[in-house]
């Protein structure tokens, strides 16, 4: 079963308040959708007895009672209401009826009942002698302007000259009369206002009578068809001027509506490109200023729940804070803090309010209903955009938390598995030395000492990597950036290599004596030690390992190359992932936890560089990373 829909009309009549309240009661009673429709009148303003202030109050009342305020345009208001009701699926129409008689046409309520018999029509009688909400506007005051007057006289003069030419050609008077009728049509097109619909036929008739109707050059006439000609001119002039006035008014209204709709569409497109909540709110204010022709500002709550600083007026602050907390409009033109200078609208999503926009209105008067609907739509669009940012932020936080939990679980699992072997080895070797160390040969004792030493060093490296990874993941690692000589960093790194480094040929090359880079030396030494130890572990004894650095523009490129068996192509893309180890082991069966290369990548990226791996020719691997170069001339004197 479809939801019922109650429709009522808005006007600037004081009696309209009663109609709106009864329509709201009906909608609430039957659980229906409630719509208050405002029919924008044709040019000429509100009908007599209605005022813009009363119209504004009636619109606010309808919104307060839960109505959706809509706007349509047109001169025939009954037709506009019928078309809107049919398109919107309205089931009930609530209108007011005054005691005024309709002599020349049916009452608007009767016309509606005849046009939409399928819709229930509820008529609310009232005794106030106010114009009915569906009455057409009364005739506006005459609009006279010098340009329109000049055009009217020019057309009459042109018709007179053309009539003289046709008369010299011997044409009949009836054809000359048709020329003046054509001139009356032209006057209705080129002028604005119904007054020229009377002036044009009158001047044309006088000119035609004086110049072409016998007796000539007098205003007496003897032609029997002249009164008919004059009446045709008058009717044609009035119809043409009225039609032109309506068409122009509808054209202006359509152009204005199209421009405002374009603002709405443009606003939606700009919101899609906004990269932050602040940019989205700036976009909203910029587009709203085009509609209200006034200043628009936005406010967001801080950690204390305050929207504005102490420099703001107290009324403004309270109105904005109320709008944000209660998710409803406040300030100028509302019943909440009406003394405020601005109208405050909450920018909210489905979950909460995210900001408040303050609109400076002209003379504290609400914009017309159509503009208000656009304002609401644009604010709602921005609210949805801010909610999207909030959801993405929560999702990223949840994802980050999940990754941290996964990291902790992997660390615990890896530690529990990988620490067991070296600790067992240390305990076993130490137990043998303690129980029967004197009975062992010197070579066997040295072998046990070396095993304990190697296992202890492996544990120290593991702990250092774990601590570094923990600091990076928690965001607590702080870089102490200073210019450093690359030669000194190389010397420091080669002093802290694995015990098996002596089994390989390790060479360093520097093309420049004073090559400098900006770095945290402690961390970069750790990167070089990890890369060199990897080359030592995964290449056979006697392999060549080359450590180089060279300048490339604003960067220094470091490289650790070896001529070992290399890394299979299928494993190259996973080398820098945490907890990933290539499928090679040392001779003592001790494997790593897969933290070294991941840690190197994190450290290098924290320095603003990149680390990569590529195969060496004819075989082997080359690990390279970049750091920002520092010139010796740029250093400040001590």
Residue 331, SS3 per DSSP: strand
Residue 82 banded pLDDT, cuts 50, 70, 90: confident
Neighbouring-strand partners of residue 38: 10, 71
From CA 108, how far away is CA 98, in angstroms rounded? 11
For residues 392, 394, 395, 400, the Cα torsion angle rounded to the nearest 10 degrees is 120
Who has greater pLDDT, 579 or 278?
278
**pLDDT over threshold 80, residue 34:** yes
Who has greater pLDDT, 38 or 257?
38
**The domain 5-125 is classified under which CATH number: 3.40.50.1820, 3.40.50.620, 3.90.420.10, 3.40.50.2300?**
3.40.50.620
Homologous superfamily of the 274-391 domain (CATH) = GAF domain (3.30.450.40)
> Token digits for 414?
């890896």
Q: What is the rounded average pLDDT of the residues 373-381? A: 84
Counting residues of the chain whose pLDDT is more than 70, the rounded percentage is 75
Residue 209 banded pLDDT, cuts 50, 70, 90: confident
Residue 278 has, within 13 A of its CA and on its CB side, a CA count of: 0
From CA 438, how far away is CA 382, in angstroms rounded? 82
From CA 251, how far away is CA 435, in angstroms rounded? 107
**103-152 pLDDT tens trace:** 445 566 677 778 888 888 888 876 555 444 444 444 455 567 788 888 88
**pLDDT over threshold 60, residue 515:** yes
Greatest extent of the chain over all pairs of C-alpha atoms, in Å? 157
**527-571 pLDDT tens trace:** 898 899 889 988 999 999 999 999 998 999 999 999 998 888 877
**pLDDT over threshold 80, residue 403:** no
Q: Which long-range contacts (CB under 8 A, 24 or more apart) does 312-315 make?
A: 313/340, 313/341, 315/339, 315/340, 315/341
Residue 298, SS3 per DSSP: strand
pLDDT at 546: 94
Helix pair angle (486-494, 521-537), 10° resolution? 50
From CA 534, how far away is CA 26, in angstroms rounded? 81
**pLDDT over threshold 60, residue 298:** yes
From CA 289, how far away is CA 297, in angstroms rounded? 9
pLDDT at 589: 42
What is the reported pTM? 0.50
First CA to last CA across the chain, in angstroms? 86
Residue 487 banded pLDDT, cuts 50, 70, 90: very high
**Which residues have C-beta within 8 Å of that of residue 184, sequence separation ≥ 6?**
200, 201, 204, 233, 236, 237, 240
From CA 126, how far away is CA 3, in angstroms rounded? 29
Q: How many residues are given for the chain?
A: 638
Q: Are strands 611-615 and 621-628 parallel, antiparallel or unpaired?
A: antiparallel
Q: Are strands 544-552 and 516-519 parallel, antiparallel or unpaired?
A: unpaired
Domain ranges of the chain: 5-125, 146-249, 274-391, 419-476, 478-632
Check whether domain 478-632 has CATH 3.30.565.10, yes or no:
yes
Residue 283 has, within 13 A of its CA and on its CB side, a CA count of: 25
Of 370, 375, 322, 394, which Cα lies nearest the Cα of 74?
370
Q: What is the DSSP letter of 362?
A: G
Q: What is the DSSP string of 504-525?
A: SEEEEE-S-TT-EEEE-HHHHH
**Which residues have C-beta within 8 Å of that of residue 280, sequence separation ≥ 6?**
271, 274, 382, 385, 386, 389
Who has greater pLDDT, 282 or 636?
282
Of 89, 90, 99, which Cα lies nearest the Cα of 123?
99
Q: What is the rounded average pLDDT of the residues 430-435? A: 84
Q: What is the DSSP letter of 364?
A: G
Residue 591 banded pLDDT, cuts 50, 70, 90: very low
């Amino acid at each position: 079963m479809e939801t019922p829909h109650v429709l009522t009309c808005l006007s600037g009549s004081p009696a309209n308040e009663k109609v709106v309240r009864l329509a709201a009661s009906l909608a609430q009673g039957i659980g229906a959708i409630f719509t208050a429709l405002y029919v924008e009148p044709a040019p000429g303003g509100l009908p007599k007895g209605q005022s813009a202030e009363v119209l504004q109050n009636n619109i606010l009342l309808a919104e307060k009672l839960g109505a959706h305020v809509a706007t349509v345009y047109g001169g025939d208001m009954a037709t506009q209401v019928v078309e809107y009701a049919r398109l919107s699926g309205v089931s009930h129409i609530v209108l007011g009826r005054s005691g005024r008689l309709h002599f020349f046409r049916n009452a608007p309520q009767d016309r509606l009942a005849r046009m939409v018999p399928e819709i229930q029509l509820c008529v609310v009688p009232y005794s106030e002698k106010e114009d009915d909400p569906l009455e057409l506007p009364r005739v506006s005051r005459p609009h006279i302007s010098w340009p329109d007057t000049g055009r009217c006289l020019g057309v009459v003069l042109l018709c007179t000259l053309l009539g003289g030419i046709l008369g010299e050609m011997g044409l009949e008077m009836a054809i000359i009369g048709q020329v003046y009728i054509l001139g009356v049509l032209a006057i209705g097109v080129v002028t604005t206002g119904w007054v020229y619909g009377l002036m044009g036929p009158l001047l044309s008739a006088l000119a035609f009578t004086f110049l072409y109707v016998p007796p000539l050059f007098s205003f007496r006439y003897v032609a029997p068809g002249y009164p008919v000609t004059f009446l045709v001119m008058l009717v044609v002039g009035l119809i043409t001027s009225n039609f032109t006035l309506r068409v122009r008014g509808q054209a202006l209204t359509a152009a204005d509506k199209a421009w405002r709709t374009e603002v709405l569409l443009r606003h939606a497109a700009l919101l899609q490109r906004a990269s932050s909540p602040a940019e989205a709110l700036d976009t909203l204010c910029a587009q709203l200023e085009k509609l209200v022709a006034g200043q628009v500002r936005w406010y967001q709550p801080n950690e204390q729940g305050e929207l504005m600083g102490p420099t703001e007026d107290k009324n403004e602050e309270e109105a904005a804070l109320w709008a944000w907390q209660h998710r409803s409009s406040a300030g100028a033109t509302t019943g909440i803090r009406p003394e405020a200078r601005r109208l405050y609208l909450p920018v909210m999503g489905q979950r909460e309010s995210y900001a408040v926009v303050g609109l400076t209105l002209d003379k504290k008067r609400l914009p017309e209903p159509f503009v208000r609907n656009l304002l609401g739509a644009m604010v709602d669009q921005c609210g949805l955009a801010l909610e999207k940012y909030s959801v993405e932020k929560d999702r990223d936080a949840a994802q980050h938390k999940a990754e941290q939990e996964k990291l902790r679980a992997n660390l615990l699992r890896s530690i529990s598995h990988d620490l067991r072997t070296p600790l067992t080895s240390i305990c076993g070797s130490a137990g043998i030395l303690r129980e029967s160390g004197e009975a062992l040969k010197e070579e066997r004792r040295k072998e046990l000492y070396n095993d304990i030493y190697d296992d202890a060093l492996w544990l120290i490296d593991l702990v250092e990597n774990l601590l570094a990874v923990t600091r990076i993941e928690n965001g607590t690692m702080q870089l102490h950036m200073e210019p450093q000589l690359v030669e000194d960093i190389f010397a420091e790194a080669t002093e802290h290599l694995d015990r098996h480094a002596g089994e390989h040929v390790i060479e360093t090359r520097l093309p420049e004596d004073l090559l400098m880079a900006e770095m945290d030396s402690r961390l970069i030494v750790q990167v070089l030690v990890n890369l060199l130890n990897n080359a030592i572990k995964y290449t056979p004894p006697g392999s060549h390992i080359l450590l180089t650095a060279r300048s490339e523009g604003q960067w220094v490129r470091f490289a650790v190359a070896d001529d070992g068996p290399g890394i299979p192509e299928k494993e190259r893309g996973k080398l820098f992932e945490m907890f990933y180890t290539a499928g090679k082991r040392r001779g003592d069966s001790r494997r790593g936890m897969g933290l070294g290369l991941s840690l190197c990548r994190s450290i290098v990226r924290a320095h603003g560089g990149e680390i990569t791996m590529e195969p060496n020719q004819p075989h082997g691997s080359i690990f390279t990373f970049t750091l920002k170069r520092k010139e010796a001339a740029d250093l400040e004197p001590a």
